[in-house]
Structure 1
Amino acid sequence: MDGVSFTRQGRCQERDDVLGTTKPPLSLAWIASVLRQDGHDARIIDLTAAGKTVGELAHFLDEGQFAPTLIIFASCFPTWDADARAMGALKEKTGAPIISFGPHASAAPIDALKRAPVVDGVLVGEPEDGARALANLQPGENWSTVGSLCFRRGDDIVPCRESGRFGGFASAAGPDWGGTDFDHYRLPLVNAPYALVETSRGCPYTCDFCVAPLQQGHQFRERPAPAVVDEIERLQHERRLRYFYLWGDTVTLNQKSIGAIADELIRRRLGIRWIANARADNVTDPALVSRLRASGCWMLSFGIEASVPERRDEMQKRLPEPAIASAVANLRRAGIRSFAFFIFGYPGETLASMAATTDYACDLDIDFAGFYPAVPYPGTELGDRAAAVGWVTDPSDWRQLEYSHYAMKCGELTEASVLKAIARARRRFYLRPRYLARHAWELARIAATKPGITKHVVKQMLARRD
């Protein structure tokens, strides 16, 4: 979008410089898997990762190497308008209907189609079974038979009947990556290619700012540990990968299950390294954390969000303070890096409370900290409340719904004040002498392997000095 690379995978809808990497297109790989099982010729094309343009893709199609009859693309709130225009050019070139999925489609399907008249439909919820049903329709068969599809019929928009759920998730062997070049996807701290391996879907928690339940619901569903490790071993053997991102909203939610994955990895002696999203209150058992480390875990990320429990309670992020301290201590003791996330600009905050969160982050013994503005995504409780009371500065501008902007005005919270507080927090956290001494090698490696992203982040940190 406008020359900026974005990740559009699951709930992630951020610029690639947020975490320093483009994520592999896992959802498209799952869709390709179910379509190929039914005999369809499915291709995964990631223009962002490959650094290609839609024009170059159109030239590829002109050469007759592939003639799509259905185009399914991932998108998200901030890139939706630009993505739809780009895919519209492919539709004009091929005549194939274009269908999208992602947070925007699950949270605001009718609004998404109103904004993008060229798009034929959006899949609400998990896209796999809906994509399969669409691909298997006979010519002239009614699209209304696809329950999770919100689609255009003449001048009308037909709403979906249900939110999609991938019925084969728990029993699936894994996604089909096809010709995906994993060298395009590199972890910034190690500069090595990696793959996403999905362990679970759904989140039982009710954080009011999160879009994840809009796509995958609140029911927690898991794949068996042997199937997860089979997939890792297969990717290690076939793609020569050593690094993996165990993918799920909260991979450590079921401690028995993540323990079983760890034990299976240890038993097979694969020698791989992995990272995952966690919750602080899921890693308070030192013995479990030690098993995770022994299995190859080298970093866990988790949301802390605010410095005081009362603010977390307002966010419905019910996370007790002792659990945070215990999790951080366990990870440090085991030698697993910790990456904590903090939200700035939540309604009701003040400049003083954001400064207090900065102090709190610096006092914690964490390895990395991400400071992000609260984003009022439509469909979330926070987004709907912010829109209802008039906090959203421009509800029509979805481009603002990402971490480079603050899209609300609430009391003394403005885009300028919140982004200034975030820049100050980054400076304070990452420029501490003790921190620089401990992480000098890692910071130097990031600067050497990701110079563009490093320059952008440093520029953000220094642009809003007091």
Structure 2
Amino acid sequence: MERFSRVLVINPPSPPGFVSNKDSMGGFGQLFPPGATYMPPLDMVYLASFLTEKQVPVEVLECLGMELDLAHLTAAAARACGGEAEGRVLAVVRTSTPTLDWDLSVCAALKAQTAGLRLAICGAVVTHVAQRIQETGAVDYLVRGEPDDVVYELVQGRALATIPGLTYLGTAGWVENPPRLFDKNLDRLPFPKWELFPYTRYQLPKSSTHGRVAFLPMITSRGCPVGCHYCPYPVGQGGVFRYRTAQNVVDEMEHLAHDLGVQYILFRDPIFSLNQRRVLEICNEIQRRGLTIEWKCETRVDCLREETVRAMAQAGCTGINFGIESAEVEIQANSGRKPITQEEFIATVRLCHELGISTFGFFIIGLPGDTADTILDSIKFAIDVRTNWVQFTAASPLLGTKLRDWAISNGYVPEHEQDYVNSYRVMMGNENLSKEQVNGLLHFAQFIGTNFINRRGILKDTHAGTRVYRLGRQMADALTYRTAQVIYALGRWYFARRLAAEA
């Protein structure tokens, strides 16, 4: 017999003063200032779609896109429970690292104001904060790992003790079942049923496309075997690369374009081109079907042969995000990353630009082994590599990562420290720099990135067609490049004097 007759899939409202993006940082999430674009947690979209495909009645309360505050959420949950027997409605609430306490308060409010509602909480962080969640008494179940099958088996009435990946409150206290293995057959999952979500409200940031276009995210693979110590993807998705077939991927792209009017797809895979043969198959299938749609992905430079980049450009790819992290191969190696040289980055970025693909470079400040000189060298490389956009973030010891283990063992963060908002805020120093020194260098990097490389989005559209706009962009590129070099030189002089005085 079914345990629950109805499921509410809930992405809670953002904490006051922030916009939450729970899909970022490998599902561990980040908080951004008001005005940031909304991005739905893809695991919630998949969960709602999976349950719907299994004929489970589902109501989605995606509070960001639907603009529901706490009062409206609790009222909507109460309405959804109306007419149902007590204890027959399950709410599955998505949480993340920086929103955990807020989300638990939302769960407590739902429980207090909706009699008989049962609550489950899920998200990549749940496994690592289970005791903290249990102590609040705000939820009845913890869903660890990918939620689809766990929630379905819970709804269907399977014996609690036999559901892998579930933690539940038994008669003698909390019971943690064995973990559930990651699903390797991703083709079996239904396509996201975006009609359950306010999908027209989701927008791309300026760095991804030109103007306002109909957009949705996709994920075609999960897991990352590279194992960089700072990366949350292997923690939340596992270290085994699991992927959908090319046919399945392009089927979904065609559905989004033809049925939902989507013009732009943002692939959320950790490393989109880890299997380059699959990428070539995807690109060939897009062209074979005559599918016209723009898309962007994230990958590693050493997972891109020239043949692959050219095929991607011909198949509609207009943007690639690259994790550069540090210009120094020694610093990359210190963090468990397979090193990539500056020359490799420059060559790939140049090829992308020749083919009309815009590029975005990610850098991390304050990694193990970083000094003021290596960080400043990375800032200079961020100017010289000439990606269209850059992002500088702080090395963040996220729960479950090897970087966190290293930071705790060296006393850079306390073991209980979970005061994480986003990776733009410095949480620790390293063996060469204090937290305050890392913060100063990060702010300098962000100043150059925001004002001179990214230019606050001014004249940054690489796809604008008018001759006047292109000329203006070229002049702005040349001017801000030279200005960034001057500002960098002044900054290097300043930090040399400042750090010498502090020594």
| TM norm. shorter chain > 0.5 | yes
Give the match's secondary structure for 1:348: coil
Task: Give the 3-state SS of the residue equivalent to 1:78 in structure 2.
Answer: coil
Shifted more, 247-256 versus 165-174: the winner is: 165-174
Q: Could you give the per-residue CA deviations for residues 168-199 of structure 1, whole angstroms, max 9, x where no partner exists?
A: 52333422224212222111223333112221
1:5 lines up with 2:5 in the alignment: no
Gaps of 5+ in 1: 446-463
What is the correspondence of 1:268-347 to structure 2 with a 5 Å cutoff? 268-283=289-304, 285-321=305-341, 322-347=343-368
Determine whether 1:85 maps to 2:112.
Answer: no
Contact 2:18 2:33 in 1 (8 A): no
Whole-Å separation in 1 of the counterparts to 2:110 and 2:185 = 31
Helix, strand or coil at the partner of 1:45:
strand
Give the structure-1-normalised TM-score.
0.87
2:222 to 201, 219, 235: 201
Say if 1:148 and 1:277 are closer, same or farther in 2 by CA, change over 3 A: same
**What is the correspondence of 1:227-306 to structure 2 with a 5 Å cutoff?**
227-283=248-304, 285-306=305-326
Q: Does 1:175 align with 2:192?
A: yes
SS at match of 2:60: coil
Let me know the Cα RMSD of the aligned residues: 2.8
1:100 and 2:114 are equivalent in the alignment? no
What letter corresponds to residue 58 of structure 1 in structure 2? T
Q: CA deviation at 1:76?
A: 1.2
Alpha-carbon spacing, 1:438–1:290, altered in 2? closer, same or farther (3 Å):
farther
Residue 363 in 1 paired to residue 379 in 2? no
Query: In the TM superposition, what is the alpha-carbon distance from 1:234 to its structure 2 partner?
Result: 1.1
1:150 correspondence with 2:171:
no
Once residues 387 and 118 of structure 1 are traced to their aligned partners in structure 2, the CA distance between those partners, rounded to angstroms, is 29
How far 1:49 moved relative to its partner? 2.8
Tell me which moved more, 268-277 or 113-122: 113-122
Match of 2:436 in 1: 416
Give me the whole-angstrom Cα distance separating, in 1, the residues matched to 2:118 and 2:302: 45
Instruction: Determine if the alignment matches structure 1 residue 134 to structure 2 residue 154.
Output: yes
Partner in structure 2 of residue 74 of structure 1 = 94
Q: 1:290: Cα distance to partner?
A: 1.5
Report deviation, 1:271.
Answer: 1.5
> What is the aligned partner in structure 1 of residue 65 from structure 2?
49
For 2:181 and 2:65, how far apart are their aligned partners in 1?
A: 27
Consecutive unaligned residues of structure 2, counting only runs of 5 or more, are 1-14, 465-490, 496-503
Q: 1: distance between equivalents of 2:18 and 2:455?
A: 29
Give the secondary structure class of the aligned counterpart of 1:264.
helix
- Is the 8 Å Cα contact of residues 123 and 164 (structure 1) preserved in structure 2? no
Q: Contact between 1:182 and 1:193, CA under 8 Å: does it hold in 2?
A: no
Separation (CA, whole Å) in 2 of partners of 1:18 and 1:214? 29
**Distance change >3 Å, CA 402–CA 151, structure 1 → 2:** farther
Bigger radius of gyration among the two: 2
The amino acid of 1:128's aligned partner reads D
Contact in 2 for aligned 1:278/1:300 (Cα 8 Å)? yes
What's 1:460 paired with?
none
Distance 1:164 1:184, change over 3 A: farther
Which residue type is aligned with residue 161 of structure 1? Answer: P
Question: Per the alignment, do residues 436 and 82 of structure 1 end up closer, same or farther by CA in structure 2, a change over 3 Å counting?
Answer: closer
Pick aligned residue for 1:225 from 246, 267, 288:
246
Between 198-207 and 6-15, report the one with greater CA deviation: 6-15
Checking the alignment, whether the CA contact within 8 Å between 2:392 and 2:424 is kept in structure 1 is no
How far did 1:214 drift?
A: 1.8
What do the CA deviations read for 1:235-277 (whole angstroms, capped 9, x no partner)?
Answer: 2222211111122111111111111111111222221111111
How is 1:373-388 mapped onto 2 (pairs within 5 angstroms)?
Answer: 373-388=394-409
| Equivalent in the alignment of 1:453 | none
- For the residues of structure 1 that align with 2:35 and 2:409, how far apart are their CA atoms? 32
Separation of aligned partners in 1, 2:307 and 2:34: 32
**Distance change >3 Å, CA 65–CA 84, structure 1 → 2:** closer
SS in 1 for 2:93: strand
**Residues 112 and 210 of structure 1: is their aligned pair in 2 closer, same or farther, counting only changes over 3 Å?**
farther
Give the aligned partner of residue 21 of structure 1: 37
- The answer to whether the Cα contact below 8 Å between 2:53 and 2:190 also exists between their aligned partners in 1 is no
Question: Which amino acid counterpart does residue 86 of structure 1 have in structure 2?
Answer: V
Q: Show the counterpart of 2:475.
A: none
Distance 1:114-1:353 versus aligned 2 partners, 3 A rule? farther
Distance in 2, Cα, partners of 1:46 & 1:385:
36
* One-letter amino acid matched to 2:166: L
Q: After TM superposition, give the deviation of residue 16 of structure 1 in Å.
A: 4.1
Secondary structure of 2:191's aligned partner:
coil
Q: Percent identity over the alignment?
A: 24
2 CA distance for matches of 1:131 and 1:64?
18
C-alpha contact (below 8 Å) 1:100/1:123 kept by paired residues: yes
Q: Specify whether residues 395 and 28 from structure 1 end up closer, same or farther in structure 2 by C-alpha distance, changes over 3 A only.
A: same
Superposed CA deviations along residues 199-248 of structure 1, whole A, max 9, x for unmatched, are 11111111011121122211111111111111111122222111111221
> Alpha-carbon deviations, 1:385-404, whole Å to 9, x = none?
21223211x54342325224
Range that drifts further, 221-230 or 182-191:
182-191
Match among 66, 76, 79 for residue 60 of structure 1: 76
